[in-house]
Amino acid sequence: MKKILYLFLILGCVSCTDPIQIQLDSGSPLIVIDGFINNMRKDQVIRVLHNSDYFSTSPSSPITNAVVTVKDITANKNYTFTYSGNGNYVYKLDTNNLINSVNHIYQLNIALNGYTYTAQTEQKRTAIMSKKAVKISYPFIDTSLFKLGLYDTLMNRNSKPFYTVFLYAVDIADNNPDYYWVKTFRNDTLFNNPNDINTSVDGSGGPVYNSPQPVNYFTPPASFLGFKRYQLGNTCKVEIHSLSYTCYNFLNQAQAQMTNQGLFATTPENVKTNIVSPNGATKAVGWFNVAMTVSDSIIIK
């Protein structure tokens, strides 16, 4: 919503932004846990890091002495993550033991400096790719899409022609809301600007109850205003990761904090965490989520 309002400002005004030098206080130490794992057939990584000065241009320094395990509580099964440098704790791909159990409850345990940090989450179902795709080339004249008045402002008018792809996914519309994180790639590169964080509830703006149809179709790569450009020969790939409701909120909150600008900025706030810090231990922040994923891709021809 804010994006839409922001557009008018560009249209109507002489507003501008300038870099500004600010002396910030130093924050107290935090343990940062980046625990987004999934059922994909690849190594699973949980990162344990220190926090950094906000303006530091180098990545945060790693915590190397943690012991990281994930326990499938429902199946009473442990997955051990071993340190492989750079703050990464890795569960090596084992095709017989994928983390792949819908509705199971998982617990993350991180033992560090005599304390154990924990977090729990449920692995939720994800959407289904529908094998349907629509390709649209730009600039175009005949569809109403870009009569939005956005073309001239959002995109460089002089850019060379490009294509946008809509890959369709299917959401099961059964009154249990599904929360998704849609990641879009060009060839193998993730679109990873904070503005590219594309989350969705039931493939729409909010939970769909009593849907007239058993399924909802939706177009993952294109959140409204979020069209991505492709050239002939590029591969467009989409991954849909399932999220818990709280993780969906976390991503939205994180995105809001990283893109909080303009006339309609909200009050900055600290992102929430689902990591439980033991009493007396350095506070941990970050998130633990176990996703089911689905992926599809298409080559632009």
Partner 1 sequence: MFRYYLFLFMGFSLLLNAQDKFTISGYIKDQKNGEALIGANILKKGTSIGVSANEYGFYSLTLPKGKHTIVATLIGYKIIEFEVNLEKNISKNIELLEDSKQLDEVVITGEAEDKNVKSMEMGVAKLDIKQIKKIPALFGEVDVIRSIQLLPGVSTVGEGATGFNVRGGNIDQNLILLDEAPVYNSSHLFGFFSVFNPDAVKDVKLIKGGIPSQYGGRVSSILDIRMKEGNSKKLSGAGGIGTIFSRFSLEGPIKKDKASFIIAGRRSYIDALIKPFVSSTNALKTADFYFYDLTAKLNWRINDKNTVFASSYFGRDVFGSSAFKFNWGNATGTVRWNHVFNNKIFMNLTAFYSNYDYSLEFNMPALNQSFKWRSNIENYSIKPDFSWYLNNRNTIRFGFQALSYAFLPYDATGQTQAGNSISFVATKRYGLESSVYISNEQKLLPRLTLEYGLRVSLFNFIGPGKAYNFRDTTANTEKAASDTLIYNKLANIKQYINPEPRFSLNYIINQYSSIKASYNRMAQYLQLISNTAASTPLDVYTIATNNLKPLIADQGSVGYFRNFKDNMFETSVEVFYKYLQNQLDYIDNANLFINPTVEGQLLQGLGRAYGSEFFIKKTKGRINGWVSYTLSHTERLVNGISNNQWFVSRYNRTHVLNIVTNIDITKNWSISLNFVYLSGTPSTFPNTRIDVQGYYIPYNTTGMRNNYQIPSYNRLDLGATYNFKNNDKHKFKQSLVFSVYNVYNRRNAYSVYFKTTLNTNGTLTPQAEKFSVIGSVVPAITYNFNF
What would the two tokens of residue 34 be?
């980046």
Q: Tell me the C-alpha distance between 76 and 228, whole Å.
A: 42
17 binds partner 1 (CB under 8 A): yes
Using CB under 8 A, which residues numbered 71 to 100 contact partner 1?
none
Helix (H) or strand (E) holding 249: helix 245-258
Nearer to partner 1, 1 or 96 (CB): 1
Of 32, 24, 36, the closest CA to residue 271 belongs to 32
Nearest distance in Å: CB 77, partner 1:
25
26 binds partner 1 (CB under 8 A): yes
Stretch that binds partner 1, among 98-106, 112-120, 143-151, 292-300 (CB under 8 A): 143-151
Q: Tell me the C-alpha distance between 278 and 262, whole Å.
A: 39
Which residue in the block uniquely carries the two structure tokens 């175009």?
Answer: 140
- From residue 254 to residue 273, the character string flagging contacts with partner 1 as x (rule: CB under 8 A) and all else as - is x-xxxxxxxxxxxxxxxxx-
What would the two tokens of residue 178 be?
């599904």
Q: Give φ, ψ of 206 to 5 degrees.
A: -160, 175
Nearest distance in Å: CB 122, partner 1:
18
Helix (H) or strand (E) holding 44: strand 44-50
Nearer to partner 1, 96 or 266 (CB): 266
- From residue 222 to residue 251, the character string flagging contacts with partner 1 as x (rule: CB under 8 A) and all else as - is --x------------------------x--
158 binds partner 1 (CB under 8 A): no
285 binds partner 1 (CB under 8 A): yes
Contact with partner 1 (CB under 8 A) among 149, 187, 231, 276: 149
Q: Let me know if 28 is exposed, middle or buried by CB neighbors in 10 A (0-12, 13-18, 19+).
A: exposed
Using CB under 8 A, which residues numbered 37 to 56 contact partner 1?
47, 49, 51-56
Nearer to partner 1, 111 or 258 (CB): 258
Buried residues in 52-80 as b, exposed as e (16+ CB within 10 A): eeeeeeeebebbeebebbbbbeeeeeebe
User: Cβ(139)–Cβ(160) under 8 Å?
Assistant: no
Stretch that binds partner 1, among 30-38, 64-72, 103-111, 112-120 (CB under 8 A): 30-38
293 binds partner 1 (CB under 8 A): no
Helix (H) or strand (E) holding 205: none
Stretch that binds partner 1, among 98-106, 111-119, 227-235, 283-291 (CB under 8 A): 283-291
Cα Rg, the chain, nearest whole Å: 21
Nearest distance in Å: CB 76, partner 1:
29
Q: Let me know if 125 is exposed, middle or buried by CB neighbors in 10 A (0-12, 13-18, 19+).
A: middle
111 binds partner 1 (CB under 8 A): no
Using CB under 8 A, which residues numbered 174 to 213 contact partner 1?
192-194, 197, 203-206, 208, 211-213
Q: Tell me the C-alpha distance between 129 and 297, whole Å.
A: 10
